[in-house]
């Protein structure tokens, strides 16, 4: 259990002379001279997030105008289409309504007597045939 004891020859305090020690301990500390240049002023800067936000807002406005124009075109086309369909429906309804036609006039038929004699009516002559129960043919 030996305690550490510094070597007197390697000690830095012993190697410094008294004059140097006095000058270091009691003299004024080093003060740097003020700079002759003017101090730099901070410049204004813009963060890319703000720049990107402005670009995004402009893009959103462009997209919304394009979408509104497309919606307006679609509405106009659907309005025109609806008018055409209504017109066609009106035409079909008018065509499907029944309109009476006038009675046609034909030439008058002259009834004249016939030269050959009229046929005399007589009843038909039905023939009764026997029906065979086992046959598959129809007679």
Most confident of 33-47, 55-69, 123-137: 55-69
Q: What is the pLDDT of residues 46-98, one digit of tens each?
A: 889 999 999 999 999 999 999 999 999 999 999 999 999 999 999 999 999 88
- Give how many domains the chain has, as a whole number: 1
Query: Do the Cβ atoms of 113 and 121 come closer than 8 Å?
Result: no
Asked, for residue 78, whether it belongs to a domain, the answer is yes
Percent helix, strand, coil in the chain, to 5, is: 45, 0, 55
Chain-centroid distance, C-alpha 79: 21
Asked, for residue 85, whether it belongs to a domain, the answer is yes
Note the pLDDT of residue 7: 54
Average pLDDT in the chain: 85
Q: How far is CA 60 from CA 3, 69, 131, in A?
A: 79, 14, 97
2, pLDDT greater than 60: no
Query: Do the Cβ atoms of 127 and 135 come closer than 8 Å?
Result: no
Give the residue numbers spanning the domain of 67.
Answer: 48-96
Asked, for residue 87, whether it belongs to a domain, the answer is yes
Note the pLDDT of residue 66: 98
Asked, for residue 55, whether it belongs to a domain, the answer is yes
Q: What is the pLDDT of residues 13-25, one digit of tens each?
A: 556 788 888 888 8
Query: Do the Cβ atoms of 101 and 111 come closer than 8 Å?
Result: no
Q: How far is CA 27 from CA 20, 22, 31, 128, in A?
A: 10, 8, 12, 164
Asked, for residue 121, whether it belongs to a domain, the answer is no
């Amino acid at each position: 259990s030996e305690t550490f004891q510094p070597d007197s020859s390697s000690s830095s305090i012993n190697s410094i002379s008294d004059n140097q020690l006095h000058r270091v301990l009691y003299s004024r500390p080093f003060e740097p001279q003020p700079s002759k240049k003017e101090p730099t002023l901070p410049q204004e800067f813009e963060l890319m997030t703000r720049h990107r936000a402005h670009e995004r807002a402009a893009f959103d406005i462009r997209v919304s105008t394009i979408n509104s124009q497309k919606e307006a075109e679609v509405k106009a086309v659907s309005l025109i289409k609806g008018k055409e369909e209504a017109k066609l429906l009106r035409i079909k309804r008018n065509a499907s309504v029944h309109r009476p036609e006038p009675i046609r006039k034909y030439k008058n038929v002259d009834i004249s007597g016939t030269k050959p004699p009229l046929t005399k009516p007589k009843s038909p002559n039905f023939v009764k045939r026997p029906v065979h129960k086992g046959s598959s043919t129809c007679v």
